[in-house]
């Protein structure tokens, strides 16, 4: 059974490198691994995915030995447990605002005694039934990642209680949605935004959990790491395509085409 790159980094005080894709690009996990990333987020919140494409990407990620997080459009328990059984390292759940919502995610993602996830072990995450039940359950409890996205003032206000829940690993700031609801720009130079991130960071530190935050540049990454983030997300297929095509345009312009 595969162990989590992200959790290995977090347990040793390191910073996990995470990128994201909203499209089933089979080569993406290999490219991510070669670029030194620990994990790929499959964005099912903002992009449509067919179940077969999710399975294909999870298989490619396993071959590349990178973690996969399913950014889920649904917190329905069976939907979450199925993607974990199909090989996802963990779940990334948008717009978590209350302890009750967080507890429901833990219940769906974690086996007893932490949660209420149904037992299988005969599919990808259990090496198709190759392991004894107790060994499979212990491994799943230890290596399944739960990332909860804090994207509203209510989520910020409840960050301490959410972070205190056993089974929660990362509180990830979603600057776009959070800034929209705070009425400011999604920048740490904004007083409201910085205060919210500092509140969540302090809650994570007190509860021994990890702060997550996106970054768009080296300066961004240094700043959020300085604030306590050890789960840093940078890079996506959309950004890569735009940047590459703009670079090609520049070269063609330079050639007088």
pLDDT in tens, 129-141: 999 999 999 999 9
The residue from 46, 50, 131, 244 that is catalytic is 46
50 is catalytic: no
pTM, to two decimals: 0.95
Question: Residue 176 has what pLDDT?
Answer: 96
Q: Comparing C-alpha atoms, which of 27, 71, 18 is closest to residue 48?
A: 71
State residue 117's pLDDT score: 97
Residue 114: which pLDDT band, with cuts at 50, 70 and 90? Answer: very high
Per-residue pLDDT band at 159 (split at 50, 70, 90): very high
| pLDDT computed for residue 72 by the predictor | 96
- Secondary structure class of 41 (helix, strand, coil): strand
Contacts of 105 (CB under 8 A, 6+ apart): 75, 80, 91, 93, 96, 146, 148
CATH of the structural domain 5-254, one choice from 3.40.50.1360, 3.20.20.60, 3.40.50.300, 3.40.720.10: 3.20.20.60
Q: Select from 17, 58, 14, 21 the least CA-distant residue to 36.
A: 17
Pure H helices in the chain = 5-11, 28-34, 51-64, 77-85, 99-109, 133-143, 153-157, 159-163, 175-182, 191-207, 218-226, 237-254
Q: Which residue has the tokens 């390292």?
A: 89
């Amino acid at each position: 059974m595969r162990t989590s790159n992200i959790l290995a980094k977090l347990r040793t005080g390191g910073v996990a490198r995470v990128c994201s894709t909203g499209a089933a690009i089979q080569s993406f996990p290999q490219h991510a691994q070669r670029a030194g990333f620990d994990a790929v987020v499959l964005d099912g919140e903002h992009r449509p995915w067919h179940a077969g494409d999710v399975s294909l990407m999870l298989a490619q990620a396993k071959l590349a030995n990178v973690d996969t997080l399913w950014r889920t459009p649904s917190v329905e328990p069976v939907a979450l447990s199925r993607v974990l059984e199909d090989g996802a390292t963990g779940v990334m759940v948008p717009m978590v605002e209350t302890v009750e919502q967080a507890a429901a995610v833990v219940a769906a993602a974690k086996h007893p005694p932490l949660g209420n996830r149904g037992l299988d072990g005969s599919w990808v995450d259990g090496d198709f039934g190759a392991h004894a039940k107790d060994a499979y359950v212990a491994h799943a409890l230890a290596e399944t990642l739960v990332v909860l996205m804090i994207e509203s003032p209510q989520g910020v206000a409840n960050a301490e209680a959410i972070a205190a829940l056993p089974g929660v690993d990362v509180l990830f700031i979603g600057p776009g949605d959070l800034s929209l609801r705070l009425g400011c720009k999604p920048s740490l130079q904004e007083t409201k935004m910085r205060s919210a991130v500092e509140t969540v960071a302090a809650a994570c530190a007190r509860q021994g959990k990890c702060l997550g935050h996106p970054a768009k540049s080296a300066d961004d990454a240094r700043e959020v790491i300085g604030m306590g983030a050890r789960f840093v997300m940078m890079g996506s297929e959309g950004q890569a395509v735009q940047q590459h095509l703009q670079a090609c345009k520049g070269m063609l312009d330079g050639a007088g085409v």
